[in-house]
Structure 1
Amino acid sequence: MTDSSSWKAFTVERAEHVAQVTLIGPGKGNAMGPDFWSELPQVFAQLDADPEVRAVVLTGSGKHFSYGLDLPAMAGDLGQVLADKAQAKPRTDFHAMVKRMQGAITAVADCRKPVVAAISGWCIGGGVDLISAADIRYASADAQFSVREVKVGMVADVGSLARLPLIIGDGHLRELALTGKDIDAARAEKIGLVSDVFDDAAAALAAAHATAAEIAANPPLVVHGIKDVLDHTRSAQVDDSLRYVAAWNSAFLPSEDLTEAITAVMQKRTPVFRGR
C-alpha cells in the first residue's frame, strides 16, 4: 500500500507490517535539499505512530542511495551565515538550522520501529549521516561511501561523527572523516559499516526486506524494548556530540575555504583551500 501523503523527497509503501521509505530527490542522486530535511522527521513520526508498521526498510531510488547535501539547493541558507560573518543573528539562525537537520536524522535513530538500510551506488556525506541512524545496513557490491564534508570545507554535523564511532570505531572514522576518501562495499563490510554485501541493488533490497520481515514477526513491544535498552547507553554520548558540533560549526563554519568549496561545486572544478 502506498502512503497517501504527497511527499516530495520520499515515497512510503506499507505491506505486511513493513514500510519501505525510498529517497526520490528531487535533487540529482537523491541529494538532500529543503524538502528532505523538512519531510524526513514527519515521515518517521508517522511510521513510529503506526501500529501496523513493525519495521522499516530505507533505500534510494535509481542507481544511488544519496549524493548527500544538495549544496545548490541549500546555498541560500549557507549564504546567510557567510554573508555577515561577525554578526550573532545569522550565526544563531544557522545554529537553529543545524539543530533542525540533526533532528531530522535523529528521528530515524529514535524510531521505535527498527530501520534496515539498503544502499547501492554512492552514499556520500549526508547519506552516511542517514545510514548511521539505521539499525542495520546492507549494501550492493557497487556501493561506495564517503564522509566527504572535509572536502567541502565543513565539519560533518548531523550525525556521522556522533554515531559512527559506535558502529565502526574511532580509528576507522578518523581515517574516513579526516581524508574524505571513498571506500567500496567490501571495505565498508570489513570495518563494520555494513553487515553484508550483495551482488546488486535488487539483492540488497530483498535482503533488507527479509530481515525487516524477520523483525516484524517478533513481539513488537519486545523489539521496542531491545531498541530502547541498546540506545540508552549511547544516547547521551550522541546527544552531547551533536550539541557540541552544532555550536562549533555555528562559530567556525564561515570561512573563505567554505565559500571556495561551494563556488568550486557550482563551477565544477577542484577547490583550492588556503586555511582562511
Structure 2
Amino acid sequence: MTDHAWNDRAWTAFDVTVSDHIAEVTLIGPGKGNAMGPDFWQELPELFGQLDTDPGVRAVVLTGSGKNFSYGLDLVAMGGTLSGILAGDAKAAPRTEFLDSLRKLQAGITAVADCRKPVVAAVSGWCIGGGVDLICAADVRYASADAKFSVREVKVGMVADVGTLARLPFIIGDGHLRELALTGKDVDAARAEKIGLVNDVADDQDAVLELARSTAREIADNPPLVVHGIKSVLDHSRSAAVHDSLRYVAAWNSAFLPSEDLSEAITAVFEKRKPEFKGR
C-alpha cells in the first residue's frame, strides 16, 4: 500500500502516516486523553491488519496525541457494551452478548500483537487501563520522564480482560504484575523502567518519540523476512498461554463481572467521587 493510500483513509481514532518503510500510528481520541471508544475498537484490528500485509511497512511507531498516551477505556462511550450485563437479572443472552463483545475488544489488541511488523510504543503522560493493554501488545516500549502507568481496572470493579493479564507476565516479573493488578496503583516512568515495563526513559515527549523512531529505523533497515521470522519464533512459545488466558478471563468476566461493586464504581466515576465497595 502506498503512502498516498494511507493518507486517503479517513481514520477517526488514529492518525496514520507511512514514510520510508515506517508507519507512525497516533491515537487521536476522539475521547479526552485519547480514551478508547467505539471508533478505536472498530478501527484498531482493521488498521493493524492492513499494516501487517502492507509490503511497504517494516516497522510501526505507536504513540498518543496531546499530553497523554491514553486514559484507557472510554466508559461513557462504551456504556452500551456493559448495559445488558449490568442489569440485575442478567441471564444467559446478555452474558453471551457481552462475551462476544469482549472477544471483539480482545481481538483488536491481539491484532497489534500479531502484526508481523514490529511495534515500538512511545508513551508520554498517562497510560491507564486499556492503554496498558495496548502497549503490552507492542514489541518495544519507551516512556518519557512524565509518563505514568496504571492497571486501573481493579479500581472500577473489573478484572482486566483485554490483554494485560495475559501479556504482562512475559514482560515483568510475577510479583510486580500482581502488585500493579491487585492495587491499581500509579507507577511513574522510573519505576516502570526498573521493573521492565519500559525499555528506556527519555527526557520528554519529543525525545521519547525520537527514540521510538530511531529503534523503528534500525528494525526497518534489517531484512524484513528475517524480522518476521524473529517475531514469529519469539511469539510462538507464549501464544498458546496468551490465547488461553484471554479465553479464560472472557468467560470469567461474563459470568462474574455483574456486581453491585461494578455499578458503584461506574456511578462513582460519573459522580467524580471515591467508590464504596461492599463485595456484592
Could you state the TM-score of these two structures normalised by the residue count of structure 2?
0.97
Measure, in 2, the Cα distance between the counterparts of 1:202 and 1:213.
Answer: 16
Percent of aligned pairs sharing the same letter = 75
Q: Which amino acid in 1 is paired with 2:59?
A: A
Write out aligned runs for 1:77-156 (5 A).
Answer: 77-156=81-160
Tell me the number of residue pairs that the alignment of Structure 1 and Structure 2 aligns: 276
Pick from 165, 171, 184: which aligns with 1:161? 165
Q: Secondary structure at the match of 2:212?
A: helix
> In 2, Cα distance between the equivalents of 1:274 and 1:188?
31
For 2:172, give the aligned amino acid: I
| Partners of 2:209 and 2:63 in 1: CA distance | 8
Q: Say if 1:199 and 1:243 are closer, same or farther in 2 by CA, change over 3 A.
A: same
- SS of 2:273's partner is coil
| Higher mean C-alpha deviation, range 217-226 or range 73-82 | 73-82
- Aligned AA (1:134): A
Give the conservation status (yes or no) of the 8 Å contact 2:127–2:147: yes
Aligned pair partner of 1:272 in 262, 266, 276? 276
Q: CA deviation at 1:80?
A: 1.2
Which residue is 1:219 aligned to? 223
- 5+ residue gaps, structure 2: none
The answer to whether the Cα contact below 8 Å between 1:22 and 1:61 also exists between their aligned partners in 2 is yes
In the alignment, structure 1 residue 201 sits paired with structure 2 residue 205: yes
Question: How far is the alpha carbon of 1:248 from its aligned partner?
Answer: 0.1
Amino acid at match of 1:226: I
The one-letter code matched in structure 2 to 1:267 is: E
Return the match for 1:233 from 234, 237, 241: 237
* Corresponding residue SS for 1:72: coil
The one-letter code matched in structure 2 to 1:63 is K
Q: Is 2:35–2:72's contact at 8 Å kept on the other side of the alignment?
A: yes
- Map of 1:179 onto structure 2: 183
Tell me the amino acid that sits aligned with residue 277 of structure 2: F
Residue 37 (structure 1) aligned with residue 61 (structure 2)? no
Gaps of 5+ in 1: none
**Distance in 1 separating the partners of 2:253 and 2:132:** 19
1:10 counterpart residue number? 14
* Corresponding residue number in structure 2 for 1:63: 67
1:248 to 241, 249, 252: 252
Instruction: Tell me which residue corresponds to 2:23.
Output: 19
Residue in 2 that maps onto 1:210: 214
2:262 match = 258
1:189-235 superposed Cα distances (whole Å, 9 cap, x missing partner): 00000000000010000000000000000000000000000000000
SS state at 2:69 partner: coil
* Offset of residue 84 of structure 1: 4.8
AA matched with 1:165: P
Structure 1 vs Structure 2 CA RMSD:
0.8
Conserved in 1, the CA contact under 8 Å of 2:84 and 2:90?
A: no
Contact conserved, 1:56 with 1:114, CA < 8 A, in 2? yes
Contact 1:85/1:254 (CA < 8 Å) preserved in 2? no
